[in-house]
Amino acid sequence: MVEVKLSALRSLGVPEISEGCKSLSAEQIIKLIKTTDAAVLTAGAKLSVGHNNKAETKSRTHQSMFFGEPDKKVVRREYVDVGTTFSAYVIIRPGQQIYMDIGFEHSGVEEGDDKIDAVLAEREWTSSVTLKDGKPTLVGSIAGKETGTFLIVTANIKE
* 58-62, 70-74, 90-94, 100-104: the lowest-pLDDT one: 70-74
Q: What share of the chain is helix, strand, coil (3-state, %, to 5)?
A: 10, 55, 35
Q: Is residue 66 assigned to a domain?
A: yes
* CA atoms within 13 A of residue 39's CA, in its CB half-sphere: 23
The band of 113, judged by pLDDT with boundaries at 50, 70 and 90, is low
Asked if 40 contacts 33 with a C-beta cutoff of 8 angstroms, the reply is yes
The domain total for the chain is 1
Per-residue pLDDT at 2: 94
Q: Is residue 159 assigned to a domain?
A: no
| Listed residue (119, 118, 98) closest to 48, CA to CA | 98
Sign of CA dihedral 123, 143, 63, 65: negative
Per-residue pLDDT at 52: 95
* 5-19, 45-59, 140-154: the lowest-pLDDT one: 5-19
Q: Is residue 158 assigned to a domain?
A: no
Q: Is residue 28 assigned to a domain?
A: yes
Range of the structural domain that residue 129 is part of: 2-153
Mean pLDDT for all residues in the chain: 86
Per-residue pLDDT at 85: 97
Q: Is residue 43 assigned to a domain?
A: yes
Q: Is residue 120 assigned to a domain?
A: yes
Question: How many C-beta atoms lie closer than 10 Å to residue 1's C-beta?
Answer: 21
> Is the pLDDT score of 72 beyond 80?
no
**Global pTM value:** 0.82
The band of 20, judged by pLDDT with boundaries at 50, 70 and 90, is low
